[in-house]
Structures are given as structure tokens and as C-alpha cells.
Amino acid sequence: MIEVRDLNILFGHGKSAIHAVRDATFTVAEGDSYGIVGESGSGKSTILRGLAGLVDDWSGEMLIQGQSLSQRRDKAGRKLLQMVFQDPYGSLHPRRTVNDTLKEPLVIHGFDKVEDRVVDALNEVGLGPQFRFRFPHQLSGGQRQRIAIARALILEPRVVLLDEPTSALDVSVQAEILNLLVRLRASHGLTYLMVSHDLAVVGHLCQRIAVMNRGAIIEEMTDEQMRSGEVQHAYTKQLWVASQGYDLDALSKFMEFE
């Protein structure tokens, strides 16, 4: 469903250029959840933004359902793939009601039964119709993220890109949102590509996990290998140890030495 080959993404030109993604290659089968972990600044969001068509300067290959990114600039192609961002506060327009937010993509893409679809979408993310005419400031962080998920799913995409979808939320709410995502993937047969700096979050949702360091994918593993700490690369070991809650200092030292 997703194929990325030798992807390179640069920001800027010449000496000051930032090589944000270096020769990234991975594939995600239909219905799978693929995770990308790595420290802040390692290039995770840039890969997702690349796949979403939000980056200009890239080389390599990006295919969704066998279609190259450059070939699917049409409306149908855009609908196939939706993205959920980290910050549920920034991603919803403060002066638009939930109803406006959910209706807009339906109208743009010419869907019928708009009202019914809005109510169904709210129910699906565990919010009743009573949330329909609220503004973002009348919602909690978790409720906002549920609306952002509803907005992504309302166009019936096949692929959902999740950029740290729970990082801005309290720990108790994180688990609720992750469980919702698991449920929605199963009921809609979705393919997920999720990035996070948190191995535990990715391990909860994904069967295969890539580790990124400074723009490059340095290792790929299964969720079982990750959980048992069966990891190859020294950087991944440090990420893993840090996720066990002991040794965040070791990670920063490791990055300095590498």
C-alpha cells in the first residue's frame, strides 16, 4: 500500500541545506501498521509530509497503492491518504464548529448525505452528536484529537498518516486514543504509518517498526523484537533503555559521541 524507495528530502540549498531524510526505503502492506521511531529532529515528520505531498524538494520514489506521488495530484489521490497531526490545538480552526470542520472535506469532495456522515463520524470516534456545534475551545485535548481523527476518516481514506497523534495528550488520554486508533484500523481495514519518539506508543500500535537517526532508517524490527529488547543497533538499544524509563542521559550522550 505504501512504498518508499531511496527517498531523500532536502530543505534549503548549498552549504546550509538540511538533509532531513537520507535514502529512506520501506514498504507497508495493506492493513498493516508501520511505525517510525527516533529522537526529535530525526526526520520522521518530514517523511510523512513527503508522502502527503507537502514537500517540494525530494528525490527517490513514493508510491501509494502502486501509484507514484507525482501521478496522484488529483482529488481522488488526495482522498486516498489522510493525515492526523500531533497538536490537536493547532490543527483545528478556533472559529469553526466541529460541524463546519467535518462538513468541509465532504463538500469539497462532493459527498452526498453530508449531515448523516457528520453524525456517523462523531459516533465512530466515541463522541455523540451533542459535540456537533461546539468550538475547539469547548473541547478537551483528547476530544479535539478525536475530532481530528474523525475529519481524517470522514473521506474514507485507505491510508492514514499519524504524526505523534498522542504526544500532546495526558498519559491516561493517550491510551484511549491509541485504543480508538486500533479499533478504527480493524473496522475500516486501514493502513497506518505512525511516527513517534515514544517506543511504547509505536509498539502498542505497530507490527513493524523502523528506527530513524539523523534522517536515515538505521534498523527495522518487529513489535516482538522491540518489546523483548532484541535490537541490533546501539542507538536503538539506547532508545529502548530510555523507553524503559531509566536512562535518558545515556541517549543524549550517545548522540553526542556518534
Ligand X SMILES: Nc1ncnc2c1ncn2[C@@H]1O[C@H](COP(=O)(O)OP(=O)(O)O)[C@@H](O)[C@H]1O
Binding site for Mg ion (CB under 5 A): 45
C-alpha cell at 83: 493525515
**DSSP structure class, residue 131:** G
For position 165 contacting ligand X by CB under 6 A, the verdict is no
For position 11 contacting ligand X by CB under 6 A, the verdict is yes
In the complex, what is the shortest distance from the CB of residue 47 to ligand X, in angstroms, rounded to a whole number?
7
Distance, in Å, from the CA atom of 175 to the CA atom of 218, rounded to the nearest integer, reads 28
Nearer to Mg ion, 117 or 197 (CB): 197
Q: Which listed option, Mg ion, ligand X, none, makes contact with residue 213 (CB within 5 to 8 Å by class)?
A: none
| Of 83, 12, 80, the residue nearest 45 (C-alpha) | 83
Nearer to ligand X, 45 or 174 (CB): 45
Q: Which listed option, ligand X, Mg ion, none, makes contact with residue 17 (CB within 5 to 8 Å by class)?
A: none
Provide the 10 A C-beta neighbour count for residue 112: 7
For position 203 contacting ligand X by CB under 6 A, the verdict is no
Distance, in Å, from the CA atom of 114 to the CA atom of 182, rounded to the nearest integer, reads 26
For position 43 contacting ligand X by CB under 6 A, the verdict is yes
In the complex, what is the shortest distance from the CB of residue 78 to ligand X, in angstroms, rounded to a whole number?
20
Residue 152 DSSP SS3:
helix
Q: Which listed option, Mg ion, ligand X, none, makes contact with residue 88 (CB within 5 to 8 Å by class)?
A: none
Site for ligand X in 44-103 (CB under 6 A): 44-46
Distance, in Å, from the CA atom of 3 to the CA atom of 68, rounded to the nearest integer, reads 9
Site for ligand X in 19-38 (CB under 6 A): 20, 38
Is 160 exposed, middle or buried, given 0-12, 13-18 or 19+ CB atoms closer than 10 A?
buried
In the complex, what is the shortest distance from the CB of residue 219 to ligand X, in angstroms, rounded to a whole number?
15
Distance, in Å, from the CA atom of 191 to the CA atom of 202, rounded to the nearest integer, reads 14
Pairing of strands 58-64, 67-68: antiparallel
Nearer to ligand X, 41 or 126 (CB): 41
Q: Which listed option, ligand X, Mg ion, none, makes contact with residue 11 (CB within 5 to 8 Å by class)?
A: ligand X
Distance, in Å, from the CA atom of 185 to the CA atom of 225, rounded to the nearest integer, reads 22
Nearer to ligand X, 99 or 196 (CB): 196
In the complex, what is the shortest distance from the CB of residue 80 to ligand X, in angstroms, rounded to a whole number?
22
Nearer to Mg ion, 167 or 207 (CB): 167
In this structure, which amino acid lies at residue 32? D
C-alpha cell at 189: 481495514
Q: Where do contacts with ligand X occur on this chain (CB under 6 A)?
A: 11, 18, 20, 38, 40-46
